[in-house]
Structure 1
Amino acid sequence: MFFRMRITSFTVFSCITYVLVFKTGFVESKCVYPWIEFQNHCYMFGLDGKTWFESKVECNKKNSYLARVETPAEDDWIIQQIFALNKVWYLWIGGNTLRKVGDWRWESTNEKVGYTFFYPSEPNRPTTERCLCYFSHHRKMLYWGDLTCTNKVGFICERDN
């Protein structure tokens, strides 16, 4: 005697989910558009111009913080994302020297900025440019630079996945 099973889209979905989750260890990302996942963190690229302080508030409203770029791999990935945007050449990240000139700290943790990717002549105005951003050098390479915190540029938010 044969058992006949009606194949429905729900049955197919259930089988695929079982294989992906239980057999491969795949877990669906918790990063929902416009957020993008990288190494268990979600990133959002804000393209509207805001000051560093406004960007911080905007990220906090989204239960996130201005991005902390802590490894070369993370830096490379973010740079690829910025080039894919193909129009934004300045973006705030979370580093600043607001507490003490020359002492770069991440705003979300107050930890010292360890890894850096400053342009060779940056940081260049330590008493007036106290906030950290990505910027393009002749629209060919992206580096970190210090910038006056009241400039209005894009920003990158980050949160744990």
Structure 2
Amino acid sequence: MAPHHVLTLMVVGFGLLTQVQGDRCPLGFVRHKTSCYWFSTYKGSFPEARSMCRYLRSDLAKVTSKDEDDFLRHFALVRGKAPNYFLGGSDFRQTRRWSWNGEEQQMTYTNWGPREPNNPLTQHCIVLSKAYNYQWGDYFCHYANNFVCECPVLQ
């Protein structure tokens, strides 16, 4: 079954994720400060991952500080098993100019793994990469990967 078919079928089972836990995050999300994060156990291309996050009333994670990055890396190391997790960063707007979720403003915080980003002509999406202890790597957007969704803590 093609990856996009897998995601299409999984959407049916996610209705409960919109319920709210006591810590004001949707069910299945983990809170860190003012954001809630969901580490997928499913794979999809970058566009599919973003669609799934939006279905869950969130977006692909936007990492703007060392503290936030440390939290995500620690969670991936302790609980995550995936080789890669898509984040919301890409250089779609302009090659080698990385931004979050299509924003115009260039990233101010980065945590690239050794020799990353290393393939500016074909790898335009950012992943947390197990190969780099979950530091960032540039990666093929059309490959199916796990992903991290983020939403604000619910009021």
Structure 1 or 2, whichever has the larger Rg, is 1
CA change 1:56–1:110 in 2 (3 A) is farther
What letter is aligned with 2:66?
Answer: P
Secondary structure of the 2:134 match is strand
What letter is aligned with 1:149?
Answer: C
Shift of 1:107: 0.6
Q: Does 1:89 align with 2:74?
A: no
Q: Does 1:126 align with 2:139?
A: no
Q: CA RMSD in A?
A: 1.4
Instruction: Give the number of equivalent residue pairs.
Output: 132
Shift of 1:29: 1.9
CA change 1:129–1:45 in 2 (3 A) is same
The 4+ residue runs of structure 1 with deviation greater than 3 A are none
**Structure 2: 5+ residue runs without aligned partners?**
1-21
- The structure with the largest strand share of the pair is 1
**TM-score normalised per structure 1:** 0.77
Shift of 1:137: 2.1
What letter is aligned with 1:117?
Answer: N
Which of 128, 138, 148 is the equivalent residue of 2:140?
148
Name whichever of 103-112 and 63-72 sits farther off.
Answer: 103-112
CA contact (8 A) 1:65 1:108 kept: no
What letter is aligned with 1:90?
Answer: N
| Cα separation, 2, equivalents of 1:146 and 1:133 | 6
Q: Does 1:160 align with 2:144?
A: no
CA contact (8 A) 2:93 2:102 kept: no
Counting aligned pairs with the same residue, the percent is 27
